[in-house]
Amino acid sequence: SPEQAMYHFISGYTAKVAGTERGVTEPTATFSACFGAAFLTLHPTRYADLLHDKLEEHGSSAYLVNSGWSGGPHGVGSRMSIETTRACINAILDGSIHDAEMTQDPLFGFEVPTALNGVDSSVLNPKLTWDNPDAYDEAAQNLARMYIENFEKYSDAGSIDYTQHGPKME
């Protein structure tokens, strides 16, 4: 939904990785509002409201594509292949993603395709890429907690409360 897109835009989740940040030896989760917090002159929710208005005005969609890690924690999993990332982007650009069967992620709530042309279906459900499903659940719960804690500072700002469009903890 546009509101979910705004939640993730405001959150600005990314990872610091070795080779891109001084002193970083393994991936470290981090948040940078609107993927550029250091450069924002307005409150992040203001940028989200502007983006939301533009999506609505032009009938546009937003997609969250995992171009990062899959298959387990650092040292076990691996980075998503560029071929997989390109295939996901191609499905968005050519519109074939609209024909894909979708399933809802139980924790984060967004719709995920079950199959895309040129993509191993297992990577579309990250839990299937982990050898230990319980370890995946624990990592996903930890990530959801990080999102929720990070977003607390934005819950009372902006014209739209995007808090309800983030992860839901049991």
- At 97-150, the pLDDT tens digits run 999 999 999 999 999 999 999 999 999 999 999 999 999 999 999 999 999 999
Asked if the structure places residue 152 within a domain, the reply is yes
What single string gives the DSSP state of each residue in 77-116? SEEPPHHHHHHHHHHHHTSGGGGS-EEE-TTT--EEES-B
The range of the structural domain enclosing residue 114 comes to 2-158
- Say if residues 147 and 13 touch (Cβ distance below 8 Å): yes
Distance CA 12, CA 69 (A): 16
In a domain, 67, yes or no: yes
Q: Is residue 39 part of a domain?
A: yes
CATH number of the domain where residue 126 is located: 3.90.228.20
Tell me the pTM: 0.88
Residue 66 forms part of a structural domain: yes
For the chain, what is the domain count?
A: 1
* pLDDT confidence of residue 115: 97
Question: Is residue 166 in some structural domain?
Answer: no
Residue 163 in any domain: the answer is no
State the average pLDDT over residues 19-38: 84
Q: Provide the 3-class DSSP secondary structure of residue 140.
A: helix
pLDDT single digits (tens) 62-76: 999 988 889 998 888
Half-sphere exposure of 68 (CA within 13 A, CB side): 15
